[in-house]
Amino acid sequence: MKVPAKTPLRTELTELPLDQVRTLLAVVDEGTFDAAAAALHVTPSAVSQRVKALEQRTGRVLLVRTKPVRPTESGTVIVRFARQLARLERDARTELGMNDAGDTTRVSIAVNADSLATWFLTALTRVPDESRLCFELRREDESRTATLLREGLVMAAVTSSPDPVAGCSVRSLGRMRYLAAASPEFAERHLGGPLGDALARAPVMTFDRSDDLQDAFVRALRRGRTGASPLRHHIPTSEGFLAAVTAGLGWGMIPEVQAEPLLKTGRLVQLAPRRPVDVPVYWQQWKLDSPALAAVTEAVTATAAQALRA
Amino acid sequence: MKVPAKTPLRTELTELPLDQVRTLLAVVDEGTFDAAAAALHVTPSAVSQRVKALEQRTGRVLLVRTKPVRPTESGTVIVRFARQLARLERDARTELGMNDAGDTTRVSIAVNADSLATWFLTALTRVPDESRLCFELRREDESRTATLLREGLVMAAVTSSPDPVAGCSVRSLGRMRYLAAASPEFAERHLGGPLGDALARAPVMTFDRSDDLQDAFVRALRRGRTGASPLRHHIPTSEGFLAAVTAGLGWGMIPEVQAEPLLKTGRLVQLAPRRPVDVPVYWQQWKLDSPALAAVTEAVTATAAQALRA
């Protein structure tokens, strides 16, 4: 397990008493010492003692005692370790046929909205049935994805961030192409004259406050001068964003695969056809030898190779 | 402004110095006293003094001094008051023609995922153009919606919760009908025998961990015995959920308006056609005499009357 250089826990991890590690995880998941005690069927004082013992052994504060408790940076490393441990145990039980009929292997994945709306579900349908996996998708943006991976709440993520999270490996899946588009009526009404200047004034769609794609496009057109208009609507779903652009609420950057059928039928027009914007897409996953994760990774990389640009 | 009975701030609000109220809002929005000071172009000690003065005047602690700071329950009342104040001021400036050309009126609304995916955007396109509004949508579930309204971060919400949030009025928009559906191949493979028992075993789609719609449907079919199978996939977008059911990953409860075209073409089959599930939909909004909010409310109620069941 890779951990940040400044917290050399690697060698110590093998010496961590697993009951203490599992107790720490329960406290973080349940939020309080009392709730963790109830979940583990032990007394609150036993929970408290185990966490203290683990803190003494690691020489670090592992929990911030707020309500609910929060793991510290060192605590987060151990919580991720605990989740990976649980995963390995479940995989081993599956391979040994020790699971009950109702037992399933849950694979939690964070996916950015445009990938989920376009190619990602196809990948899930290609995971072989006999893996008997249950998928738990979380639709999250880049900032949150790193936290989810770091805390071990997802095992893998489709993200535009190439920065590997501690304990994860990262590989490129390809590039998603975006086209600037608007409805014909919108273009007629708002986009006369030089395009860059018109776009600096015309109503614009953005996904949310952190979506910079439209601004970056306008800045590039205008050689660095100010971005898109302050007249902006935030529509935080991929499909809603597309529907709002098609309805003429604003112009916006649309994934090529969503835009193409609408461009063909004339319901959208492309602005600046020679200026597509390509956004790289990455697969980040726990460094973990899990058959479940391997099956998903294979389906995801194969589907992305067909759906995304190289 | 309506406030909870146990915090009788009503009469005091008119006596609150507005510079102190605005300072409190800046601290909450910026997260720290230092950042608020920078935003307001005053010293951090001035910020601290104003907040303290406001706490003395109200006789209440208004901020939890964490990083970032959090408003207490009393602080939340004043923060909402500050946001409503800003809204009224903006509306008045708009009516007086005092705004710059670039000024716009922003209307922030929380919308549940299925409403956003089906009828809600139509409502936005019906708001008269001359209102010059910018929409900021947040796609949120019921639990989070109440918090956003209470803290004044959204002015209105489409929600299935009829419980009015403090300071808000609530009206019924109608009922959204859900149908239990699956792909024909899925039904063939998993749904032989009594439907309730089959559904208790078959893979099921859920929106997220708090989505109880499928479980409630199975429990009703089985007269209260256990709900849907633990073999469950979480797909947290309305369109992704529909695509996953159509692809045969699981069965699920689908909004009638999304299901109908697929039922007609045979890509979905309806399970238990005589047992639709109707979920009431409400519009919660600030009690505020704002022309912007009134224009949106009118478009939303008119569109919902056509799109939802009475």
Least CB-CB distance to B234: which of A136, A229, A234?
A: A136
Q: How far apart are CA A169 and CA B169, in angstroms?
A: 50
Find tokens 């911030």 and name the residue: A64
Q: How far apart are CA A101 and CA B139, in angstroms?
A: 37
A123-176: pLDDT as tens digits: 999 998 777 788 999 998 877 888 888 878 899 999 998 988 888 899 999 999
Same fold, A1-103 and A104-310: no
Q: Do residues A47 and A23 lie in contact, with contact meaning Cβ atoms separated by under 8 Å?
A: yes
Least CB-CB distance to B244: which of A121, A229, A248?
A: A121
Residues of chain B contacting A244 with CB distance shorter than 8 Å: 121, 124
Please answer yes or no on whether A240 and B134 come within 8 Å at the CB atom. no
pLDDT of A247 > 80? The answer is yes
Residues of chain A contacting B104 with CB distance shorter than 8 Å: 230-231
Chain B residues with a Cβ under 8 Å from any Cβ in chain A = 66, 102, 104, 113, 116-117, 121-122, 124-125, 132, 134-139, 203, 229-240, 243-244, 247-249
CATH class of A1-103: mainly alpha
Say which CATH topology domain A104-310 has.
Answer: D-Maltodextrin-Binding Protein; domain 2 (3.40.190)
Query: How high is the pLDDT of residue B266?
Result: 97
Residues of chain B contacting A231 with CB distance shorter than 8 Å: 102, 104, 132, 134
Q: Do residues A175 and A280 lie in contact, with contact meaning Cβ atoms separated by under 8 Å?
A: yes
Question: How many pairs of residues across A and B have Cβ atoms under 8 Å apart?
Answer: 97
Query: How high is the pLDDT of residue B271?
Result: 96
Which tokens belong to B233?
């996939």
CATH 1.10.10.10 describes domain B1-97? yes
B59-97: pLDDT as tens digits: 888 998 888 888 988 888 888 888 877 777 777 666 666
Q: At what angle do helices A256-264 and A238-246 cross, to 10 degrees?
A: 30
CA distance B208 to chain A (A): 8
Please answer yes or no on whether A138 and B240 come within 8 Å at the CB atom. no
Where do the structural domains in chain A lie, given as residue ranges?
A: 1-103, 104-310
pLDDT of A10 > 70? The answer is no
Residues of chain B where predicted confidence (pLDDT) is lower than 50:
1-14, 101-102
Which of B122, B126, B233 is the best substitution to test chain A (most A C-beta atoms within 10 A)? B233
Least CB-CB distance to B134: which of A122, A232, A236?
A: A232
Find tokens 């300071």 and name the residue: B167
Taking the mean position of all CA atoms in its chain, how far away is CA B117?
A: 14
Please answer yes or no on whether A102 and B230 come within 8 Å at the CB atom. yes
Whether residue A68 is preceded by a cis peptide bond, meaning omega within 30 degrees of 0, is: yes
A109-136: pLDDT as tens digits: 999 999 999 999 999 999 987 777 889 9
B185-215: pLDDT as tens digits: 999 999 999 999 999 999 999 999 889 999 9
Predicted confidence band of residue A94 (pLDDT cuts 50, 70, 90) = low
pLDDT of A3 > 50? The answer is no
Predicted confidence band of residue A93 (pLDDT cuts 50, 70, 90) = low
CA distance A144 to chain B (A): 15
A178-187: pLDDT as tens digits: 999 999 999 9
What is the average pLDDT value for chain A, to the nearest integer?
87
Chain A residues with a Cβ under 8 Å from any Cβ in chain B = 66, 102, 104, 113, 116-117, 121-122, 124-125, 132, 134-139, 203, 229-240, 243-244, 247-249
Higher local confidence (pLDDT), A260 or B287 = A260
Which chain A residue is nearest to residue B204, measuring alpha carbons? A134
User: Bridge-partner residues for A226, per DSSP?
Assistant: none
Residues of chain B contacting A117 with CB distance shorter than 8 Å: 237, 239-240
Residues of chain A contacting B243 with CB distance shorter than 8 Å: 121
Say which CATH topology domain B176-278 has.
Answer: D-Maltodextrin-Binding Protein; domain 2 (3.40.190)
Q: How, if at all, do strands B168-182 and B252-255 pair?
A: antiparallel
